A and B are shown apart, each in its own frame.
Chain A
Amino acid sequence: MSTNPSPPAGSSAAPAPPPPPQKDTFTVLFDGKPVEVPKNMNLIEAARLAGIEIPHFCFHPRLSVVGQCRMCLVEIEGIPKIQAACTTPLKDGLSVKTTTDKVKACRAANMEFLLINHPLDCPICDQAGECTLQDNSFGYGDQLSNYDEAKRQYPTFDRTMIGPHVIADMTRCIQCTRCIRFTHEIAGTGELTFLDRGGRTLVWTHAGQALDNPWSACAADVCPVGALTVREFRFRSRVWYLEKTPSLCPGGNVGCNLSIESKDSVVYRFLPRLNPEVNDYWLCDYGRFMSESLNDRDIHKATVREGTSVSDAIVPLAVERVAREIRATIETTGPSGVFFLGSAHLSNEENFLLRQVADHLACANRDAVVDKVEGGRQCRIKAQKEWVEGDEEAPNHRGAKDMGMSPAAGGYGLDAVLSGKAAPEVIVVADADFSRLANDPQTVAALRKARFLAVAGRNANALTRAADVVLPAASMAEREGTFTNVQGRVQRFQRAFLPKPPIRPVLELVAMLGRMLGYGDGSQTPPGVLEQIATEIPAYSNIRPDELEGGRLLRKGDFIWGGVL
């Protein structure tokens, strides 16, 4: 809105009317109200721009238009018969009527038809609360049904797993074919199809095939009803108790935008956030089902090892112990005796602050490493226009490097430490799960050669068991920050809930360590650090706010964002 051109100043004489610019929009009348809409838009999306809801089931902005649910019927001026909005091409001057008695009657008729064979088992259906059938029934249907016959049943086609993640219940299906079109047009695997015909039509996999592709749970995402549900989320929570928090995929460097759905400090599921440039409406199964891993934790408090005994400590004292060791080393050996290891799992802010602390100590020895994607897993997702390919197992290796988590001039990196070329006295590992290496005995033995080893982490592994100080670090759901994805896009993830004390985000731990070492006052916050990053790292000086916030939260089952994408 701020880009509206203001009239040129000082033009007192009545100017000639400017020549009409070449329009790249159509003027469409919705119930008499003219709206400018982009030419390539579907009528249903255009109506949403005008603030008008056209109920629908089978339409999806990224799938082919089939016009078969017949819910989006509208009247078009000049055409006597009622028309499906989704199949009506936009043109200039098109006049659409969405509130006439005829339209209302047709919608009610369709809702009646859809519900006569629907089991109405909402109380035990996972989709309840985010179900298009419920919404449209409430909005456009009649309360009473005149159907008095036996409802259709699909013996052997109900409550059946059709793939590793998706459970199908055909009694709930409304035959919209979104899932079929998803497997054909987006995943390209085409496992699903219509079987039989007429009132016996059902959606199922081809004989002998399973719905097993890297994006299979998206088929459940596009399902407007509870016919396809996700095994991992089934019966775990009513959806209206879940809070949505914009976040990012922790599982790869594509940087898929997702929302964390949580309740009472427990993550229940991930859902994709609409970002046409990155993951569009989709999410791969690998990333989606990492949601569970955010709840994993077995490091609940800080521990300090003295000799052979390990004892609990409060976090500031544990950090102070690390600071003391670093100070002692710098006094005796100098900065070359200290090595900081950042992580591709940590945010730009956390990596940056760690580097700042290292810089403050004039310590050039720092690094961050990443595992490459392997083992047949595909880290790729269909954006609106092309596939985005990732190659790393962690979300932010590129960002960590941009933040300077590489050996500076005269310093050494992880390779030198592991090969024995460098022998730091103190090693600070900011993320216990920085790589698969953290569970590799040889690596841990090499790191353990240091006199003092400090580690922050969530889950115990070989590295934390070997460490002198272990600090409890927050999960991704418990902190905020930014990641830089494979495209160089800097995107923010937000905090879903506070970590349970004494667990702290790595940023706070590093800030505390910095304060003890004389850097800063320990009160740095992620937005503050991001501002500092913007001033100090040229490539990050001009992050676009829309890019930073990334995808838009959508309700599951509602795929139309009321804006121009």
Chain B
Amino acid sequence: MEPVLTRRVGKPNSHAIDGYLEDGGYASVKKIFSESWTPERVADEVKKAGLRGRGGAGFPTGVKWGFIPKDTKGKPVYLLCNADESEPGTFKDRLLMERDPHQLVEGMILSAYAIKCRTAYIYIRGEFYDGARILDRAIEEAYAKGFLGENILGSGYSLDLYVHRGAGAYICGEETGLIESLEGKRGQPRIKPPFPAVSGVFAAPTIVNNVETLCCVPHIINRGAEWFAKIGRNEKNTGPKLYCISGHVNRPGVYEAAMGLQLKDLIFGEAYARGMRGGKAVKAVIPGGASANMLTAAEIEDCPLDFDGVAAKGSMLGSAAIIVMNEDTCIVDAARNLSKFFSHESCGQCTPCREGTPWLYKVLDRIESGEGRMEDIALLERICNQMANGMTICVFADAAIAPPLSSVLKFRDEYRHHVEHRRCLVGPRAGARAELAAV
């Protein structure tokens, strides 16, 4: 597939508006205003394209837009771009924002128009300092060229776009946590309902979309919903998709492919990651960022990387962050590492998550350091099971249990080995204690 979202990434000065306009940028904005599209028509086109949210949940974008009440009771509608990309293993939005910021701005103009929004925000995580600077400049350029501000291209439609830097909290990527943070409060997810489309930021109807999702919109408008819907494995998983692959592969990075790329192709394909580093065997793959269940080497056979394909394997596509672990990876250590992240990032409002995430980390850390007991394995499972599935306000806890629970279920023998022998089955720490014992 020819690159769509990343077509301009390699170009020099790809973030400047001049080059963007030369490459046909903002054509979709000119198109909808010159052809007098109604907002409904824009939304309809996106709905027909079958675009699903690229942030993780895979919810159909057009349907989400349709949740805005017909009568907003005089309240403004807000569009928020979720650029709080913090899922471990995910780095696609950063690429889009830093290399082609105008694509995002263009997508936001179209999406804002579709939901009749006059003020939009890009909530970018605090660590993306460069991204925020680049976006700021892009927005400035777009204002200067008349793509933003009052009366865009003489159409009578006005839109203001702002960049808001977060303070670096994973939980602010949860849409209601993001809204709280944007309002200047502590980033804590809200109780739903009401959903943001009814009462979001500043208690007004709000749509929160991922960067990549918004970047898809100009292409749908330019080339038509049918073109977009044809890309991909089936009509429910359409469009181009960015895959972030990291771990023990030869060529980690962001690759664009049609939705439904085979996981094996991504790992071993010449156009993609080009196989395992040092020719080692695959042990486990996390297919959708830290909050997705691990897949074993057997499970990666015939695993199309789209929302339904990965779900069929008992995991999720999430943010399409593929983390590949080779045979030398200690799975307990991997789970411990991810649990540390989650225990650091829990917002702390709900009891099970606040108390459960550090507990998981402490138990995993104990097993990893050779102090584990056989009953700890069952304990891990039990803690996981009593944290998730409605026990908390948001799905953070459900995400946090994915690495420990899936690794215990799929690599139980390795945990047992760890406990019995007080050392890793594989990896750099595998033989250390055995040698000590021999002395």
Across the interface, which residues of B come within 8 angstroms of A117, CB to CB?
355
Task: Name the residue in A66, A70, A106, A114 with the highest tally of chain B Cβ atoms < 10 Å from its Cβ.
Answer: A70
A70 touches B343 (CB 8 A): no
B356 close to A (CB within 8 Å)? yes
B359 touches A175 (CB 8 A): no
Interface set, chain A 39-84, CB cutoff 8 A to B = 65-71, 73, 81-84
Partner of A70, one of B169, B352, B379: B352
B346 touches A198 (CB 8 A): yes
Partner of A199, one of B355, B363, B389: B355
- Given that A66-B191, A149-B366, A175-B349 are contacting pairs, would A199 and B391 also be in contact in the complex, using a CB cutoff of 8 Å? no
In the assembled complex, how far is the CB of residue B344 from the closest CB belonging to chain A, in whole angstroms?
A: 6
Q: How far is the CA of A147 from the CA of B186 in the complex (A)?
A: 30
Interface set, chain A 197-231, CB cutoff 8 A to B = 197-201
In the assembled complex, how far is the CB of residue B427 from the closest CB belonging to chain A, in whole angstroms?
A: 24
B357 close to A (CB within 8 Å)? yes
**Contact flags B351-373 to A (C-beta < 8 A → 1, else 0):** 11011111100110010000000
In the assembled complex, how far is the CB of residue A174 from the closest CB belonging to chain B, in whole angstroms?
A: 7
Considering the complex, give the chain A residue whose CB is closest to the CB of B187. Answer: A197
Across the interface, which residues of B come within 8 angstroms of A193, CB to CB?
186
In the assembled complex, how far is the CB of residue A233 from the closest CB belonging to chain B, in whole angstroms?
A: 28
A82 touches B389 (CB 8 A): yes
Partner of A174, one of B186, B351, B390: B351
Considering the complex, give the chain A residue whose CB is closest to the CB of B348. Answer: A201
Considering the complex, give the chain A residue whose CB is closest to the CB of B169. Answer: A197
A116 close to B (CB within 8 Å)? yes
Q: How far is the CA of A113 from the CA of B385 in the complex (A)?
A: 13
Q: How far is the CA of A527 from the CA of B387 in the complex (A)?
A: 58
A198 touches B390 (CB 8 A): no
B140 close to A (CB within 8 Å)? no
A87 close to B (CB within 8 Å)? yes
**Contact flags B306-347 to A (C-beta < 8 A → 1, else 0):** 000000000000000000000000000000000000011111
B386 touches A105 (CB 8 A): yes
Considering the complex, give the chain B residue whose CB is closest to the CB of A68. Answer: B349
**Contact flags A141-166 to B (C-beta < 8 A → 1, else 0):** 00000110110100000000000000
B343 touches A198 (CB 8 A): yes
A199 touches B350 (CB 8 A): no
**Contact flags B160-192 to A (C-beta < 8 A → 1, else 0):** 000000000101000000000000001000010
- Given that A117-B355, A198-B354 are contacting pairs, would A87 and B348 also be in contact in the complex, using a CB cutoff of 8 Å? no
B379 touches A146 (CB 8 A): yes
B222 close to A (CB within 8 Å)? no
Across the interface, which residues of B come within 8 angstroms of A69, CB to CB?
350-351
B63 close to A (CB within 8 Å)? no
A198 touches B389 (CB 8 A): no
- Given that A70-B351, A174-B351 are contacting pairs, would A199 and B357 also be in contact in the complex, using a CB cutoff of 8 Å? yes
B14 close to A (CB within 8 Å)? no
A73 touches B351 (CB 8 A): no
**Contact flags A317-345 to B (C-beta < 8 A → 1, else 0):** 00000000000000000000000000000
In the assembled complex, how far is the CB of residue A151 from the closest CB belonging to chain B, in whole angstroms?
A: 11
A70 touches B357 (CB 8 A): no
Q: How far is the CA of A69 from the CA of B351 in the complex (A)?
A: 5
B9 close to A (CB within 8 Å)? no
In the assembled complex, how far is the CB of residue A485 from the closest CB belonging to chain B, in whole angstroms?
A: 38
Q: How far is the CA of A70 from the CA of B393 in the complex (A)?
A: 8
Count residues of chain B with CB under 8 A from any CB of chain A: 32
A81 touches B346 (CB 8 A): no
Partner of A114, one of B351, B379, B382: B351
- Given that A82-B391, A175-B349 are contacting pairs, would A198 and B358 also be in contact in the complex, using a CB cutoff of 8 Å? yes
B191 touches A67 (CB 8 A): yes
B351 touches A199 (CB 8 A): no
A175 touches B354 (CB 8 A): yes
In the assembled complex, how far is the CB of residue B137 from the closest CB belonging to chain A, in whole angstroms?
A: 32
Across the interface, which residues of B come within 8 angstroms of A197, CB to CB?
169, 171, 345-348
Across the interface, which residues of A come within 8 angstroms of B351, CB to CB?
68-71, 110, 113-114, 174-175
Interface set, chain A 126-146, CB cutoff 8 A to B = 146
Across the interface, which residues of A come within 8 angstroms of B352, CB to CB?
70, 109-110, 113
In the assembled complex, how far is the CB of residue A123 from the closest CB belonging to chain B, in whole angstroms?
A: 23
Q: How far is the CA of A199 from the CA of B382 in the complex (A)?
A: 19
B345 touches A109 (CB 8 A): no
B392 close to A (CB within 8 Å)? yes
Q: How far is the CA of A152 from the CA of B348 in the complex (A)?
A: 14
A199 touches B392 (CB 8 A): no
Count residues of chain A with CB under 8 A from any CB of chain B: 38
In the assembled complex, how far is the CB of residue B179 from the closest CB belonging to chain A, in whole angstroms?
A: 16
- Given that A81-B390, A113-B356, A117-B355 are contacting pairs, would A149 and B362 also be in contact in the complex, using a CB cutoff of 8 Å? yes
Across the interface, which residues of B come within 8 angstroms of A175, CB to CB?
348-349, 351, 354
A546 close to B (CB within 8 Å)? no
Considering the complex, give the chain A residue whose CB is closest to the CB of B347. Answer: A197
Interface set, chain B 389-407, CB cutoff 8 A to A = 389-393
A306 close to B (CB within 8 Å)? no
Across the interface, which residues of B come within 8 angstroms of A106, CB to CB?
386, 391
A196 close to B (CB within 8 Å)? yes
Across the interface, which residues of B come within 8 angstroms of A73, CB to CB?
390-391
Across the interface, which residues of A come within 8 angstroms of B349, CB to CB?
66, 68, 175, 177, 201
Considering the complex, give the chain B residue whose CB is closest to the CB of A80. Answer: B390
Q: How far is the CA of A81 from the CA of B398 in the complex (A)?
A: 13
Task: Name the residue in B169, B349, B362, B386 with the highest tally of chain A Cβ atoms < 10 Å from its Cβ.
Answer: B349
A199 touches B354 (CB 8 A): yes
Considering the complex, give the chain B residue whose CB is closest to the CB of A193. Answer: B186
In the assembled complex, how far is the CB of residue A68 from the closest CB belonging to chain B, in whole angstroms?
A: 4
Considering the complex, give the chain A residue whose CB is closest to the CB of B390. Answer: A81
B379 touches A81 (CB 8 A): no
- Given that A73-B391, A83-B390, A146-B379 are contacting pairs, would A201 and B359 also be in contact in the complex, using a CB cutoff of 8 Å? no
Q: How far is the CA of A149 from the CA of B373 in the complex (A)?
A: 13
Across the interface, which residues of B come within 8 angstroms of A84, CB to CB?
191, 393
B379 touches A116 (CB 8 A): no
Across the interface, which residues of B come within 8 angstroms of A387, CB to CB?
none
A235 close to B (CB within 8 Å)? no
A194 close to B (CB within 8 Å)? yes
Across the interface, which residues of B come within 8 angstroms of A174, CB to CB?
351
In the assembled complex, how far is the CB of residue A173 from the closest CB belonging to chain B, in whole angstroms?
A: 11
B350 touches A149 (CB 8 A): no
Across the interface, which residues of B come within 8 angstroms of A87, CB to CB?
191
Q: How far is the CA of A194 from the CA of B347 in the complex (A)?
A: 10
Partner of B355, one of A66, A114, A177, A196: A114
Across the interface, which residues of A come within 8 angstroms of B343, CB to CB?
198-199
Q: How far is the CA of A23 from the CA of B354 in the complex (A)?
A: 42
In the assembled complex, how far is the CB of residue A301 from the closest CB belonging to chain B, in whole angstroms?
A: 58
A194 touches B391 (CB 8 A): no
Across the interface, which residues of B come within 8 angstroms of A194, CB to CB?
186, 348
Across the interface, which residues of A come within 8 angstroms of B379, CB to CB?
146
**Contact flags A88-114 to B (C-beta < 8 A → 1, else 0):** 000000000000000001100110111
Across the interface, which residues of A come within 8 angstroms of B348, CB to CB?
175, 194, 196-201
Q: Apart from A175-B349, A194-B348, what 20 extra A-B contacts exist at CB < 8 Å? A: A65-B191, A67-B393, A82-B389, A82-B391, A109-B352, A110-B352, A110-B391, A112-B386, A113-B354, A146-B382, A196-B348, A197-B171, A197-B345, A197-B348, A198-B345, A198-B357, A199-B358, A201-B348, A201-B349, A201-B354
* Chain B residues close to A by CB (< 8 Å): 169, 171, 186, 191, 343-352, 354-359, 362-363, 366, 379, 382, 386-387, 389-393
* Chain A residues close to B by CB (< 8 Å): 65-71, 73, 81-84, 87, 105-106, 109-110, 112-114, 116-117, 146-147, 149-150, 152, 174-175, 177, 193-194, 196-201
Query: Can you report 7 A-B residue pairs in the complex whose CB atoms are below 8 A from each other?
Result: A84-B393, A110-B351, A113-B351, A117-B355, A152-B358, A194-B348, A199-B355
Closest 6 CB pairs of A and B: A201-B348, A81-B390, A109-B386, A199-B358, A113-B355, A198-B346
